[in-house]
């Protein structure tokens, strides 16, 4: 019986980690896509813009003929590293001083949607700190929030945005 539960658990984990079937086709209807953007900064001052594109079952989509571009750089489909437990999506690693993010999602080779994360629409920007290890005697505090950008051509006509950034040490 223990073996059956172990096999069931492994199949659920492996199945839930797999990419969506939409990864294997050209997408013509952007309403099939759920889009969430997370901006992360940890206490080691590592920064990441994570663009997650999911199907209706929340499986990751690797856009077959599309791409994600952040500040004129292609974001890589990879596992998130900063505060994200390895979730798969499109990752962009900001340069020092980058505070505003122009994000374009091409769901196929010719259709796209562009939006900007800036203080004008809820993104407060990174806190600029010198390197400060998490091994200090006190824990840093984080500023975090979630909000929605509308209108958008995606599922529910929205883009969910969240951030978790170091507030102070």
Considering the domain boundaries, does residue 75 fall inside one? yes
Which tokens go with 115?
């939006």
Long-range contacts of 106-109 (CB under 8 A, 24+ apart): 106/63, 106/66, 106/67, 106/68, 106/69, 107/27, 107/28, 107/30, 107/33, 107/63, 107/66, 108/26, 108/27, 108/28, 108/63, 108/65, 108/66, 109/26, 109/65, 109/66
Considering the domain boundaries, does residue 156 fall inside one? yes
Average pLDDT over residues 80-102: 89
Instruction: Indicate the pTM of the whole model.
Output: 0.84
Q: For residue 135, is pLDDT > 60?
A: no
Considering the domain boundaries, does residue 9 fall inside one? no
- The count of structural domains within the chain is 1
Average pLDDT over residues 103-115: 98
Question: Is the pLDDT higher at 132 or at 138?
Answer: 138
Considering the domain boundaries, does residue 52 fall inside one? yes
Considering the domain boundaries, does residue 46 fall inside one? yes
Considering the domain boundaries, does residue 11 fall inside one? no
Considering the domain boundaries, does residue 10 fall inside one? no
Considering the domain boundaries, does residue 111 fall inside one? yes
Q: Domain range spanning residue 149?
A: 20-168
**Residue 116 Cα to chain centre, angstroms:** 14
């Amino acid at each position: 019986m223990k073996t059956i539960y172990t096999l069931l658990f492994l199949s659920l984990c492996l199945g839930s980690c797999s990419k969506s079937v939409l990864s294997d086709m050209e997408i013509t209807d952007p309403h099939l896509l759920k889009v969430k953007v997370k901006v992360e900064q940890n206490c080691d001052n590592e920064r990441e813009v994570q663009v997650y594109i999911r199907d209706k079952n929340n499986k990751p989509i690797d856009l077959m003929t599309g791409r994600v571009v952040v500040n004129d750089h292609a974001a890589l489909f990879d596992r998130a590293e900063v505060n994200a437990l390895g979730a798969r999506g499109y990752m962009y690693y900001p340069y020092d001083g980058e505070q505003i993010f122009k994000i374009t999602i091409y769901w196929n080779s010719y259709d796209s949607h562009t939006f900007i994360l800036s203080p004008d629409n809820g993104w407060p920007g990174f806190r600029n700190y010198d390197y400060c290890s998490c091994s200090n005697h006190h824990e840093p505090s984080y500023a975090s929030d979630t909000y929605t950008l509308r209108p958008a051509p995606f599922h529910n006509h929205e883009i969910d945005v969240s951030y978790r950034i170091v507030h102070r040490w």
